[in-house]
Amino acid sequence: MKKADQGAEVGKEAVDPALRLEAERLLGTVPPLDVPEPPAALRLHLQTQEHELQVRQIELELQNEQLRQTNLELELTRNRYTDLFQQAPLGYFMLDQSGTILEVNTTGCTQLGLTHERLNGRRLPVFVQENFRTHFAVFLRRVFETMQPCRVELTLVGQDGKNFYAQVDAVATAASDGTPSYARAAVIDISPLKEAQEAISLLNAVLEERVQARIAQIQELNDELEALVQSVTHDLRLPLQQINTYASQLQAKAEASGLPPQQELQQVLSGVDHLNELVGALFAYFKAGRQRARFFPVSLERVMADVRKSMKSELQARQVNLTQDPLPTICGDSRTLHMLFSHLLGNALKFSPQDRTAQIRVISQENEREYLICVRDNGIGFNMRHKDRMFGIFQRLHQERQDAGLGLGLALVRRIVMRHGGRVWAEGREGEGASIWVAFPKGQGEHGQKVHQAFVQGGTAPHLKP
């Protein structure tokens, strides 16, 4: 009797209290059974056991109902995710370590051209193009070894024999003991992307050919123009020399005869001298562009030392305070670089104040792509509205000055910098001096002739400060 009561008590403890209360409530609604009257003690025990059995029966029915509801919800959830799996716009495959297909969705079947029944159990490597099978085997082994998401691009072959580019993303799933169980692989058809990339590559190749053809055409026209200028300047020298000779003879005869000097004759001689200077400068300008440049590592420190040595007389003729930063070594042509810095220093010296010490500073900076060199003076400066004119041929911003020159110095600077694939620009203010900046690309060789326009004409140069 005590054991039965203890069993009943244990059964009560194992039952969900909420189910127990619900079973008790439902049992109270059931009418009692009509049986013969037993002894009082036995009757009490039987009633207790009967009540317990009825409660347990109702509890089991409630549990079964809960299980049915849970199973229904699980079924709905499974169907929902099955629909997502089957109708996904990319192929989903479940693979074992040998690449055998355990399960595949509808899109995967469409990609390979077979039904679920014919794909399940077959090895996916069979549908990989032969050139990529070793690559895919290595990929699949890495998926199961690393247990991390992996990606590969390869070519798959459908049942109809048509190839398509595919991107495969896979990750392995671990079993309960931690060992790899299977891999989930997503297969995306990237054929349109590859076709677009190939079309872009083809277009780039065509554009490159057109650019090269245009560059060659421009170079040919430039060569013809330079040849024409060189021929004209060469042919002009003899007539100018004859005019100068005849005018000098007339002047000498006039002086020998005691006649007063003729102003018109003096103007002819001055004009001839000026025209000779222009022709000589123009010839030198185009000659600098036609001569073959030899690009080697060049120390700008050494170039600047040679320039200062060659300009020693000009620098000592007046009060000049010339300072410079340590200069880099660049890939360039030493002869034309010497010419470049000679013109930059000469320009700064020419337009520095005559009544006080000329302050000329050579500044050196660099960034990730370029070496930046600046020659700054404290001279008369210029209006920034005219900055684009400074580097043109025969462009002089200070024509009122007798020493303004011919306007070819900075034009020649620009030409030399362009041949080095660099940039050149100017900054300044009237009465506050000017700064001429040149930028040399790091690691640039003689191919600067092809890319110099991108550096020089590609936009406004940045404003840099020392």
Residue 272, classified by CB atoms within 10 Å of its CB into exposed (0-12), middle (13-18) or buried (19+), is: buried
CB 355 within 8 A of CB 321: no
CA distance 383 to 387: 7
CB 289 within 8 A of CB 415: yes
CA distance 18 to 15: 9
pLDDT digits (tens, 9 = 90+) for 374-398: 999 988 888 888 777 777 666 666 5
| pTM, 2 dp | 0.46
**Which helix (H) or strand (E) covers residue 329, if one does?**
strand 329-332
Total structural domains within the chain = 4
Helix (H, G, I), strand (E, B) or coil at 22: helix
Q: Are strands 358-366 and 329-332 parallel, antiparallel or unpaired?
A: unpaired
Residue 283, classified by CB atoms within 10 Å of its CB into exposed (0-12), middle (13-18) or buried (19+), is: middle
Give the range among 10-19, 286-295, 350-359 with minimum mean pLDDT. Answer: 10-19
Residues 390 and 299 grouped into a single domain:
yes
Question: Per the domain annotation, does 209 fall within a domain?
Answer: no
CA distance 248 to 283: 25
Residues 131 and 271 grouped into a single domain:
no
Question: Per the domain annotation, does 144 fall within a domain?
Answer: yes
Question: Per the domain annotation, does 196 fall within a domain?
Answer: no
Determine the average pLDDT of the residues in 197-223.
87
Could you tell me which residue, 322 or 408, shows the higher pLDDT?
322
Helix (H, G, I), strand (E, B) or coil at 396: coil
Q: What are the distances in angstroms from CA 339 to CA 105, 117, 417? A: 74, 81, 11
Q: Above pLDDT 90, what percent of the chain?
A: 29
Residue ending a domain, among 140, 172, 189, is 189
Burial 6-27 (b: 16+ CB within 10 A, else e): eebeeeeeebeeebbeebeebe
Tokens 């247990």 label which residue? 147
Tell me which residue of 424, 413, 422 sits closest to 446, measured CA to CA. 422
Residues 274 and 297 grouped into a single domain:
no
CA distance 243 to 263: 16
Q: What are phi and psi of 358, to 5 degrees?
A: -75, 125
Residues 259 and 401 grouped into a single domain:
no
Q: What are phi and psi of 65, to 5 degrees?
A: -65, -40
Inform me whether the pLDDT recorded for 401 exceeds 70. no
CA dihedral 404, 406, 408, 410 (to 10 degrees): 0
pLDDT digits (tens, 9 = 90+) for 17-40: 777 777 777 766 766 656 555 567
Residues 70 and 115 grouped into a single domain:
no
Residues 95 and 79 grouped into a single domain:
no
Residue-number span of the structural domain to which 301 is assigned? 293-456
Report for 138-142, 229-233, 269-273, 348-352: range of highest mean pLDDT: 138-142
Total residues found in the chain within this entry: 466
Residues 65 and 173 grouped into a single domain:
no
Residues 110 and 144 grouped into a single domain:
yes
Q: Residue 365 belongs to a domain with what CATH number?
A: 3.30.565.10
Residue 101: per-residue pLDDT: 93
Residues 438 and 307 grouped into a single domain:
yes
Question: Per the domain annotation, does 326 fall within a domain?
Answer: yes
pLDDT digits (tens, 9 = 90+) for 299-327: 999 999 999 998 888 888 888 889 999 99
Helix (H, G, I), strand (E, B) or coil at 331: strand
Residues 119 and 61 grouped into a single domain:
no
Question: Per the domain annotation, does 364 fall within a domain?
Answer: yes
